Structure 1
Amino acid sequence: MIKKESIENLKNNLDIVDVISQFIEVKKSGANFKACCPFHGESTPSFVVSPAKQIYHCFGCGAGGDSIKFVMEYEKLSYPEAIEKLASMNNINLEYDNVNTKKQDIRVLEDVNKFYQRLFVNNQKAKEYILSRGISEFSIEKFEIGYAPASADTIKYLKSNHYNLPDAIDLGIIDTGANGLYSRFIERITFPIYGINGKMVGFGGRTITGHNAKYVNSPQTKVFNKSRLLYGYHLAKEFIYKKNELIVCEGYLDVIMLHQAGFNTAVATLGTALTKDHLPLIRRGEPKIILAYDGDKPGLAAAFKASVMLSQSEFEGGVVIFGEGIDPADMVKDGKTEELNNIFKTPIPFIPYAIDYIISKYEINNPSQKQKALIEANDYLQSLGVIYQDEYKRYIAQKLNIRENLVKVSNNSFERRDDANLSKIDIAELCIIKSILEKPSRLDAVLDIVDSSMFETHRNQFELLLNDIDNISLNAISLNEKLENYDDERLNKELLTLLYKFYTNKLTAISYDKNYEFREKVNMIRKIKDNIYQLRHGKLVSYNL
């Protein structure tokens, strides 16, 4: 069993925005972040994440909780499994009540990386290749470039240093086959890969001895998921936030050489195209995205797919295509840094690039082909927001040399989610509750003026607040941006209004209540009117009748 103190330590080191943004894409919205809820289908974001309160809540389906609850629900894990996954993601060691419980030693990755670095220094062939690509000694050290030896040498290193071999298998360093243990990386230049928290999670490797696969990555592990990682991000993220720019390349050497030339916002995907799983990561800081892809057929296709995805998600930025056979690393090596700088300043915006790519697939001098190009371009256009549709229908018409009215836009404007509950709630009551949730020290002062009986519509929520101010059911009120957080002066005024409304309703109810004698009614009405009179003059009164 995981020790309670260990769980508390983990919670104290978690940031809910960091945790959730590793699974879904979130966007800044005032003091909070918003997203489309991952737990039910929706097209308008109603999922709110609060960094101040370290909670999330969906106003559509009611899901809510903290970082641990999110991972439990999203990954379908038990509580202990979610704790262990979060600890693994953040490289935090857990302590167990059972001292015999084995704990995964993630440090073996870092130690093997140091072992590979030492071997690189003494491997002439590996070093010659790297230097021949223009990579400096400083960059070799900065990016911790190493060399993985023969399989037996890595196994020997692990055994002689008494590492836990099952840990090394779980972390993708070695594996077992028909002939026993073998290394995942054999006679390859190695590039350590880090997560967004700056902790090492795996390797990329390039062969220099003619293995079938030129590049390989670590296998999927508890800490390594190549679809959610970007090479070099741990070194680039500070500059991405400062410059509000992120350059996405296709390879490790491109990233290293761009950083060497001062383009320190460069990152690379890990042998796979940019996918939706990357969006939460590249959304961080809302940077302008520049796709720096090769001009060969796979590069053009990858740039198109990424442009469609990024434009549909309303990212800003564009595409830079390098001539076939030339890549960013080559340009840096050839001293074309200023030319690179100018290229990155003038990328082709995502939408025109995607439209051009679609139309380029067809022979538009042929009416039949032109019709197909129009249909495909139209389908893409209608997947965008209405403003973009209106703007780029002219572009499509010009490219195809057709009348603009032949380009159809969607009749559906941005969907608006009507909050049906707003017509059935008392805004003032909810704002009072929210104001207490924001500043719990107000509660005693509020109870000096009102009690739960004064809340006509939201008595249950107020009583819940009295019994458990941290109850998860109150998250919906706390995170509702339509509700105001009153300052102390405004809160007092709203409490007086609440009292006035209560006394007025009480007065009407007593007048028609047949259970009271006439004289009783007269006395109670006088008392209520006296309270109302005092309220009108701004005096706080006892509400007991």
Structure 2
Amino acid sequence: MIDKSSIEQLKNSIDIVDVIGNYIELKKAGANYKALCPFHNEDTPSFVVSPSKQIFHCFGCGAGGDAIKFVMQYENLSYPEAIEKLANMYNFSLQYTKSKSDIKPLITALQQINSFYKKKLSTYQKALAYLQSRGVTNASIEKFELGYAPSSQEQIEYLKANFIPLQDAIDAGVLAKDQTRVYARMIERITFPIFSQNGAIIGFGGRTISNHPAKYLNSPETKLFHKSKILYGYSHAKEAIFQKKRIIVCEGYLDVVMLHQAGFNTAVATLGTALTVGHLPLLRRGEPQVILAYDADKAGITAATKAARLLSSNDIEGGVVIFPEGLDPADMVKNGQIAELEQLFSHPTPFIEFILQSIVKSYNIKDPKQKQNALYEGVAFLRTLPDLIAQEYKNYLAALLDILPSKVPLQTKKNQNIQEDIQTKDTKELSIIKTILLHPDLIDTVLDIIEPHHFVYHRSEFEAAIAQDIDNPQLRAILLDDDILPFKEQHLTSELLVFLIKFYEKRIQQITKEQISFTQKSFLIRKYKEYIHKLRQGELVIE
């Protein structure tokens, strides 16, 4: 592991403008630098780099962070990989440390138990018979290192006999413990070892063959295993992905095994979870076309639609393949339908078309009201896309709804966004937030006077600022917005009192319009007027 103090020294020895300037062209803009954002398509620069704060932020897509974060996103590297990349760029010697939290013992525990699982599979006929019934060959069993997890006691005895500390096996997710016992997580299951992109074992998936209610089980989250960032089979598929510029994302372990067996060696799968933002770095590597290969059931359609929205909004090219009802990739390979699979993968439905189709199919468009709602939802989606792309798909949505393209109103997008920005921006609230971002020592002073519920428009940003969540994109935007001015410390208390007075004056105006009893209305108005009187006298108000 890289020593934390070494990382801090590296951060202090590099300049973010210099780092980012090695990748993209930056132009001076006042105290900051600007550029076209490298993380999304744009015509007007909204990507800002602040040398004084050593952060970058895109006001268009929300990307941002420090120099390390930029290298991670731009080069699709992990945090340690980005640190080592920067250290090499600046000839900086990193210091490494070995500690009790070192991951090596966890990998050793996983490697040992995987060897045990593989050996048990070769002698357990019921598990072998199941795999054979699904069409899995011995070559695939060997390639993907499939195994079988026997009873809990057998696994524990094996680990002890091979001098693996049980605590390491617990930390690796192989074992678990409660108040009375230690036990194996995978029992009577065919095991699918899960590898990192670099080929290190990090966890397991397990398929029951004993009618357990949970058909599939994954390792728990550990220091090694983060299922929302991992794709099963990626280490086997990555070379082919870079060569063929295609990655097939399916739903299950067996789908991946069988697709590889049939020659579709760019197949991967999510680990019992939806496709997430955490998967994007892997999906972007090599800039492949991403094909979502999902089942035709309701869950599959829903998952495909969500994933397609995620990928299209992040400018990732590709499309969706929905398998014939009742079939999945593993079934089609077993049935010898290789040509049909190749035809499906060669002609996926583009993401945007699939999303619009899904939206329209979710309504009964023979009903005028539902047809109108389908139009609203379709337009709302198109407005999330760049203007040119939205205009291109306007006719497609109109055709799906059997209406004239002129009835698809995209042109109000900019005006509506401007209106929303005006309605939801409060300069006083933003100034308070910027003050505590720049001067964290003033947080207690602020919280002595105001609370989050006093913020009408920017409560979430205020709460994030109190927590000093600097990775929050909204906070970065506030920090880099020169139009938002922080309060001076000597004026802070008086500014906060004025802020509260305005808050209670607005509350009085709201109460006069509320549908409540006259008695309650009178009580609240008197109470808030008393608060205002105290605040004008310089007294703090306790609600």
SS of the aligned residue for 1:216 comes to strand
Counterpart of 2:56?
58
Query: Residues 316 and 36 (structure 1 numbering): CA distance in 2 closer, same or farther, change over 3 Å?
Result: closer
C-alpha displacement at 1:178, in angstroms?
A: 3.4
C-alpha displacement at 1:70, in angstroms?
A: 8.0
Query: Residues 45 and 230 (structure 1 numbering): CA distance in 2 closer, same or farther, change over 3 Å?
Result: farther
Matches within 5 A, 1:443-462: none
Counterpart of 1:336?
337
**Percent of aligned pairs sharing the same letter:** 48
Quick check: 1:36–1:47 contact (8 Å CA) kept in 2? no
Query: Residues 256 and 118 (structure 1 numbering): CA distance in 2 closer, same or farther, change over 3 Å?
Result: same
Do residues 380 (structure 1) and 378 (structure 2) align?
no
Alignment partners' CA distance in 2, 1:93 and 1:222: 21
Q: Which amino acid aligns with 1:296?
A: D
Matches within 5 A, 1:28-47: 44-46=46-48
Report Cα offsets for 1:415-460 as digits up to 9, x if no partner: 9xxxxxxxxxxxxxxxxxxxxxxxxxxxxxxxxxxxxxxxxxxxxx
SS of the aligned residue for 2:343 comes to helix
Query: Residues 3 and 215 (structure 1 numbering): CA distance in 2 closer, same or farther, change over 3 Å?
Result: closer
Counterpart of 1:407?
408
Do residues 220 (structure 1) and 218 (structure 2) align?
no
Matches within 5 A, 1:76-115: 95-96=97-98, 103-104=102-103, 105=105, 106-115=107-116
C-alpha displacement at 1:308, in angstroms?
A: 1.3
Report Cα offsets for 1:20-60 as digits up to 9, x if no partner: xxxxxxxx9799996669xxxx9955579xxxxxxx96266
C-alpha displacement at 1:343, in angstroms?
A: 1.1
Matches within 5 A, 1:219-238: 219-238=220-239
Report Cα offsets for 1:113-149 as digits up to 9, x if no partner: 1110000000100011011111110000000000011
The TM-score, its normalising length taken from structure 2, stands at: 0.61
Alignment partners' CA distance in 2, 1:346 and 1:287: 15
Q: Which amino acid aligns with 2:291?
A: I
Query: Residues 302 and 64 (structure 1 numbering): CA distance in 2 closer, same or farther, change over 3 Å?
Result: closer
Report the aligned-residue RMSD: 3.6
Alignment partners' CA distance in 2, 1:102 and 1:59: 33
Counterpart of 2:504?
none
Query: Residues 63 and 404 (structure 1 numbering): CA distance in 2 closer, same or farther, change over 3 Å?
Result: closer
Matches within 5 A, 1:312-461: 312-409=313-410
Counterpart of 2:189?
188
Counterpart of 1:166?
167
Query: Residues 46 and 340 (structure 1 numbering): CA distance in 2 closer, same or farther, change over 3 Å?
Result: farther
Counterpart of 2:443?
none
SS of the aligned residue for 1:213 comes to coil
Quick check: 2:36–2:46 contact (8 Å CA) kept in 1? no
**What residue ranges of structure 1 are gaps of 5+ in the alignment?**
12-27, 49-55, 72-76, 84-91, 416-545
Alignment partners' CA distance in 2, 1:279 and 1:143: 24
C-alpha displacement at 1:299, in angstroms?
A: 0.7
Counterpart of 1:150?
151
Alignment partners' CA distance in 1, 2:187 and 2:47: 47
Alignment partners' CA distance in 1, 2:286 and 2:45: 22
Alignment partners' CA distance in 1, 2:330 and 2:49: 41
SS of the aligned residue for 1:178 comes to coil
Report Cα offsets for 1:197-232 as digits up to 9, x if no partner: 211110000000011100000000111011000000
Matches within 5 A, 1:226-265: 226-265=227-266
Report Cα offsets for 1:151-200 as digits up to 9, x if no partner: 11111111121212221111101011133101011110000001112111
C-alpha displacement at 1:64, in angstroms?
A: 3.4
Do residues 280 (structure 1) and 284 (structure 2) align?
no
SS of the aligned residue for 1:121 comes to helix
C-alpha displacement at 1:65, in angstroms?
A: 4.0
Report Cα offsets for 1:334-378 as digits up to 9, x if no partner: 111111111110011111111111111111111111111101111
C-alpha displacement at 1:257, in angstroms?
A: 0.6
Query: Residues 30 and 68 (structure 1 numbering): CA distance in 2 closer, same or farther, change over 3 Å?
Result: closer
Counterpart of 2:512?
none
Alignment partners' CA distance in 2, 1:158 and 1:172: 13
Report Cα offsets for 1:487-527 as digits up to 9, x if no partner: xxxxxxxxxxxxxxxxxxxxxxxxxxxxxxxxxxxxxxxxx
Quick check: 1:36–1:46 contact (8 Å CA) kept in 2? no
Quick check: 1:247–1:291 contact (8 Å CA) kept in 2? yes
SS of the aligned residue for 1:192 comes to strand
Alignment partners' CA distance in 2, 1:277 and 1:215: 22
Alignment partners' CA distance in 1, 2:318 and 2:271: 21
Alignment partners' CA distance in 2, 1:30 and 1:372: 44
Q: Which amino acid aligns with 1:132?
A: S
Aligned length: 366
Q: Which amino acid aligns with 2:260?
A: H
C-alpha displacement at 1:402, in angstroms?
A: 1.4
Matches within 5 A, 1:65-80: 65-66=67-68
The TM-score, its normalising length taken from structure 1, stands at: 0.61
SS of the aligned residue for 1:246 comes to strand
Quick check: 2:259–2:265 contact (8 Å CA) kept in 1? yes
Counterpart of 1:435?
none
Q: Which amino acid aligns with 1:257?
A: M
Query: Residues 114 and 29 (structure 1 numbering): CA distance in 2 closer, same or farther, change over 3 Å?
Result: farther
Q: Which amino acid aligns with 1:58?
A: F
Alignment partners' CA distance in 1, 2:377 and 2:101: 55
Alignment partners' CA distance in 2, 1:182 and 1:209: 18
Quick check: 2:379–2:408 contact (8 Å CA) kept in 1? yes
Query: Residues 243 and 3 (structure 1 numbering): CA distance in 2 closer, same or farther, change over 3 Å?
Result: closer
Counterpart of 1:419?
none
Quick check: 2:228–2:273 contact (8 Å CA) kept in 1? yes
Counterpart of 1:130?
131
Report Cα offsets for 1:373-420 as digits up to 9, x if no partner: 10111111111111111011111111111121221225567x9xxxxx
Quick check: 1:58–1:64 contact (8 Å CA) kept in 2? yes
Q: Which amino acid aligns with 1:332?
A: V
Alignment partners' CA distance in 1, 2:311 and 2:45: 16
Quick check: 1:196–1:233 contact (8 Å CA) kept in 2? yes
Report Cα offsets for 1:282-333 as digits up to 9, x if no partner: 1111110111111111111111111111111121111111112111111111
Quick check: 1:35–1:46 contact (8 Å CA) kept in 2? no
Quick check: 2:360–2:374 contact (8 Å CA) kept in 1? yes
Alignment partners' CA distance in 1, 2:410 and 2:36: 30
